[in-house]
Amino acid sequence: MSPARRQRSRSDRLARVAGVAAVLLVATLVAGDALGQPVLVGYVETGSMAPQLQPGDGFLAVPAALTSTAVGDVVVFDAAVVNDGALTTHRVVDATPEGYVTRGDANRFTDQEGREPPVVDAQVVAEVVQVGGLVVPIPKLGVAVTGMQDLIDAVRLVALRTTGVDVSDRRVVALAIFLCGLGAFALGRPIDGHVRTHGTDGPGTGTQVPVRTLVAVGLVAVLVTTTAVWAVPSGPRQYDVVSADIDAPGIRVVEAGTTERAEHSVTARLVPTVVYLDSGSDALTVETRRLVVPAGETQTATFAVAAPVDRGYYRYYLVEHRYPAVFPERVLDGLYGVHPWTPTVAVAGLVTGAYLLVALPLVRLRTHVRLGRRRRPRRVRG
Residue 187 has pLDDT above 60, yes or no: no
- 269-297 tens-digit pLDDT: 778 999 999 998 888 999 999 999 998 89
pLDDT at residue 190 tops 50:
no
The pLDDT, as a whole number, for residue 204 is 47
> What residues does each domain of the chain span?
34-135, 236-334
CA dihedral 315, 318, 319, 323 (to 10 degrees): -150
Q: 20-24, 353-357, 377-381: which range is least confident on average?
A: 377-381
Give the mean model confidence (pLDDT) for residues 41-65: 86
Taking only the tens place, the pLDDT of each residue in 192-244 is: 444 344 444 444 445 566 777 777 777 777 776 677 667 667 778 888 899 99
Tell me: domain 236-334, CATH 2.60.40.10, correct?
yes
What are the CA-CA distances from residue 182 to residues 24, 48, 192, 255, 273 (Å)? 6, 32, 15, 52, 28
Which stretch of 155-159, 300-304, 315-319, 335-339 has the lowest confidence by average pLDDT?
155-159
DSSP state of 38: -
Q: Is the pLDDT of residue 340 over 80?
A: yes
pLDDT in tens, 85-133: 888 999 999 999 889 999 999 999 999 998 888 998 888 888 999 988 8
Distance CA 241, CA 252 (A): 5
In this prediction, residues 248-261 reach a mean pLDDT of: 89
% pLDDT > 70, the chain: 66
Residue 330 has pLDDT above 80, yes or no: yes
34 band by pLDDT with thresholds 50, 70 and 90: low
Q: Kindly report the number of other CB atoms within 10 A of residue 329's CB atom.
A: 11
Instruction: Confirm whether 34-135 and 236-334 share one CATH topology.
Output: no
The CA distance from 267 to 301, in Å, is 11
Closest of 145, 144, 120 to residue 35, by C-alpha: 145
DSSP of 106-132: T-SS-TGGGTPPPBPGGGEEEEE-EET
> What is the β-pairing status of strands 235-244 and 253-255?
parallel
In three-state secondary structure terms, 144 is helix
- DSSP labels for 3-34? HHHHHHHHHHHHHHHHHHHHHHHHHHHHHHHH
244 neighbors 257 (Cβ within 8 angstroms): no
Looking at domain 34-135, its CATH superfamily turns out to be Umud Fragment, subunit A (2.10.109.10)
- The pLDDT of residue 111: 94
What is the residue-averaged pLDDT of the chain? 77
- Residue 94 dihedral angles phi and psi, to the nearest 5°: -165, 155
Strand residues in the chain grouped as ranges (E): 41-43, 58-63, 74-78, 87-96, 99-103, 124-128, 130-131, 134-135, 196-199, 202-205, 207-210, 235-244, 253-255, 259-267, 273-279, 284-286, 290-293, 298-306, 312-324, 368-371
More confident residue, 139 or 33: 139
Exposed / middle / buried, residue 132 (Cβ in 10 Å: 0-12, 13-18, 19+): exposed
27 band by pLDDT with thresholds 50, 70 and 90: low
What's residue 191's pLDDT? 40
The pLDDT of 73-87, averaged and rounded, is: 87
Q: How does strand 124-128 pair with strand 74-78?
A: antiparallel
Per-residue burial over 196-207, b = 16 or more CB atoms within 10 Å of its CB, e = otherwise: eeeeeeeebebb
pTM of the predicted model, to two decimals? 0.62
Residue 176 has pLDDT above 70, yes or no: no
Question: pLDDT class for 356, splitting at 50, 70, 90?
Answer: confident
More confident call, 180 vs 328: 328
What pLDDT score does 18 carry? 62
Q: What is the pLDDT of residue 314?
A: 87
pLDDT band at 15 (very low <50, low <70, confident <90, very high): low
Sheet of strand 298-306, all strands in order from the earlier edge strand to the far edge: 259-267, 298-306, 284-286
Residue 8, pLDDT > 80, answer no
Give the model confidence (pLDDT) of 304-317 as tens digits. 999 999 998 888 88
Q: Looking at residues 339-352, what average pLDDT do you find?
A: 88
3-class DSSP state of 161? helix
Separation between Cα atoms, residue 251 and residue 261, nearest integer Å: 8
**CA–CA distance, 139 with 55 (Å, rounded to integer):** 9
Rounded to the nearest 10 degrees, how much is the dihedral formed by the CA atoms of 83, 89, 90, 94?
Answer: 100
Report whether pLDDT(68) > 80.
yes
d(C-alpha 98, C-alpha 261), whole Å: 22
**Predicted pLDDT at 189:** 46
